[in-house]
Amino acid sequence: MKQLITVERFCLIGHILSMVFALAGLLLVLPNSELLASLPPFSQMLFGWSMAGGGVVYILLGAATVAIYAYRALGLRNLLAFMLPAVFLSLGSELLGTSTGLLFGHYGYLSGLGYKIAGLVPFTIPLSWFYVGMSTYVLARAGLEVKLVNGWVKEVGAVALGALLLTTWDFVLDPAMSQTDYPFWEFRDAGQFFGMPYRNLTGWLATGALFMSVAALFWRNPSTQLTRSKLSVPLAIYLANFTFGAVLTVAQLDIRFWIPTVLSVLLGVIPTVALWWATKPVVTAD
């Protein structure tokens, strides 16, 4: 178990550092061509590789972190009960969306996120649905583990709250990934919500609620209670991914994009921290 914790922490640190490196490259190096030109040829080559594959690396590390965490803290059954619906149902939604415009509006993926399944959806996208979605769902379930919330109320509440937290992350993710200087996907229709179609948000909410509902059917409460310390990984994952999108959105887009960023804080970050804080504190060492 200690070895798993070590690998999990290594992946989490790598996940966060890869996003920090990406932010430095996107905000500092690429906009300043003279800085890039001053680097030695080998450093320029490394930087080019990192910019081309950095999106793949940080998503893979995020997925690995959450998968190891879930296996260790929740058990193999709960890991598979969530991961399989999250990956395959989100992939189905993305393939439907990119090919028909249903659910999310007319959009398409550009380069930088890895091999595209059916030439449409990068293989890393379903993994990002999984690792952020599982983080929000676990935090929602754990935060609702109080005496007044039991049975079907807890089940429905965890799905609804988890899907909402996942969707509010998109308030900063989509502008950062589609409207900044170096986009990874693009909307082909003018969006009413800061460049995003409203149905993109409902598509996010519906997709998250769908795979979380399927996961809930097979979920079993872990043998040990998820105390505050045992929820530090999903909290760190959510906050790190929010920060990545928020920094890009605020730094590269105009002042009106502070509105979705603030909404993401109010509807996503604050409730997530509150859910984490609502769980019982550490009683014994992990």
Angle between helices 124-143 and 76-100 (to 10 degrees): 130
Q: Is the pLDDT of residue 75 over 50?
A: yes
The H or E element that residue 121 is part of is strand 121-122
Q: Is the pLDDT of residue 17 over 80?
A: yes
Q: Is the pLDDT of residue 139 over 80?
A: yes
Collapsed DSSP state (helix, strand, coil) of residue 18: helix
Query: Residue 155: its pLDDT value, please?
Result: 87
Angle between helices 198-218 and 76-100 (to 10 degrees): 150
Q: How confident is the model at residue 42 (pLDDT cuts 50, 70, 90)?
A: low
Other Cβ atoms closer than 10 A to 43 = 11
Query: Residue 286: its pLDDT value, please?
Result: 44
Over residues 114-137, mean pLDDT: 97
Select the more confidently predicted residue: 225 or 123.
Answer: 123
How far is residue 225's CA from residue 188's CA, in Å, rounded to a whole number? Answer: 46
Over residues 84-100, mean pLDDT: 97
Q: What are the backbone dihedrals phi and psi of residue 108, each rounded to the nearest 5 degrees, phi first?
A: -155, 150
Q: By the 8 A CB rule, do 85 and 214 touch?
A: yes
Query: Exposure of 166 by Cβ count < 10 A (0-12 exposed, 13-18 middle, 19+ buried)?
Result: buried
The phi-psi region of residue 278 (left if phi > 0; otherwise alpha if psi is between -120 and 50; otherwise beta) is alpha
Q: Is the pLDDT of residue 165 over 80?
A: yes
Lowest mean pLDDT among 24-28, 135-139, 234-238: 24-28
pTM, two decimals, is 0.91
Query: Residue 177: its pLDDT value, please?
Result: 93
Over residues 161-167, mean pLDDT: 97
Q: How confident is the model at residue 147 (pLDDT cuts 50, 70, 90)?
A: low
Collapsed DSSP state (helix, strand, coil) of residue 185: strand
The pLDDT tens digits for 232-286 are: 999 999 999 999 999 999 999 999 999 999 999 999 999 999 999 988 886 544 4
How far is residue 195's CA from residue 172's CA, in Å, rounded to a whole number? Answer: 12
Select the more confidently predicted residue: 30 or 91.
Answer: 91
Task: Classify each residue of 198-229 as buried b or exposed e, where b means 16 or more C-beta atoms within 10 Å of its C-beta.
Answer: ebbbebbbebbbbbbbbbbeebeebeeebbbe
Average pLDDT, the chain: 89
The pLDDT tens digits for 185-220 are: 999 887 889 989 999 999 999 999 999 999 999 998
